Amino acid sequence: MTSTLAAVLCGTGLAAGLLCLWSACWETPDRRARRPRFLVELEDDLVAAGFPRVSPGGLAAASLLAAVVVGLVGFAFTASVPVSACFSVFAAAAPLLVVRRQARGREVERRVLWPDAIDHLGSGVRAGMSLPEAMAALAHRGPEGLRPFFGAFEEEYRATGSFRMALEAFKRASADPVADRIVAALAVTRDVGGTELGTLLRTLSHFLREDARTRSELRARQSWTVTGARLAVGAPWLVLALLSTRGEAAAAYSTPGGIVLLLTGMVVSLAAYRLMKRIGRLPAEPRVLR
């Protein structure tokens, strides 16, 4: 009887072990589908642009609404479906372009402020404050444009008492590659300890100042070229909008030849705009943490 019970227990344990091995090989811990990179970057842009409560679906609804409104207004003025459809396509892309432009603009503004925040953080640590206290103090005496991010850190730290969770809240609120660097450096310093925090912060502050100065010079030099390229792309469509208010011109663009001309012009304009953006784009700093 005893040997039979032992054999049953051994068989049960072996079966459970094999089942665990099989589960580890064929099932993933997180069964959620991996999100496309475009959606992840779009969410970062929404947060960076100041719309943290707007989802990609909400932005898509805004694009659809803009396309419908512009299409109806265009048809009311031109009475041409092809012409109004072209401007509807441009209107549908407008919310996304506005969000990305505002996100890039705020990122440029904050890039100048991050070195000052790091200097304040280093001063607080040298004055004897703990690292969480120095981070939380920046919510009140740090650079004005960065205080909401450090405010998110302060609120989370007071609520949970966890430095790592507070850093995660700071990272989510900022959605900025520079903030990712700070989070990575502070998390490692907090975990492994060491006396090189001051040196690390001074080095990071110096690097960020040099990077901001270089990018500012490059943007100043290319601003006229980029503005001219945008005007070159938009001017033909402005002329089209003015011409389409005349009945004979709108009728001409409603013919098969006119539709082909509009489609060709749209493809060329979009391709030229994308090429201009790619040529004039400065190297973007990727986020190392999300």
Domain count, the chain: 1
Place of tokens 């512009």: 70
Q: Would residue 25 count as lying in a domain?
A: no
As a whole number of angstroms, the distance between CA 100 and CA 13 comes to 56
pLDDT in single tens digits along all 290 residues of the chain: 455 544 544 555 555 555 555 555 544 444 334 667 788 888 888 888 888 888 888 999 999 999 999 999 988 888 888 888 989 988 998 999 899 888 888 888 888 888 888 888 888 888 888 888 888 899 888 888 889 999 999 999 999 888 888 988 898 888 888 888 888 878 777 666 556 777 778 888 888 888 888 888 877 777 777 777 778 888 888 888 888 888 888 888 888 888 898 899 888 888 888 887 777 776 666 666 66
pLDDT of residue 288: 62
Q: Would residue 10 count as lying in a domain?
A: no
193: left (phi over 0), alpha (psi -120 to 50) or beta: left
SS3 assignment for 54-101:
CCHHHHHHHHHHHHHHHHHHHHHHHCCHHHHHHHHHHHHHHHHHHHHH
pLDDT of residue 30: 41
Q: Would residue 152 count as lying in a domain?
A: no
Q: Would residue 107 count as lying in a domain?
A: yes
- Residue 109, domain extent: 43-128+194-280
Q: Would residue 271 count as lying in a domain?
A: yes
Q: Would residue 56 count as lying in a domain?
A: yes
SS3 of residue 185 by DSSP? helix
Q: Would residue 159 count as lying in a domain?
A: no
Q: Would residue 175 count as lying in a domain?
A: no
pLDDT of residue 64: 93
Place of tokens 């809240």: 169
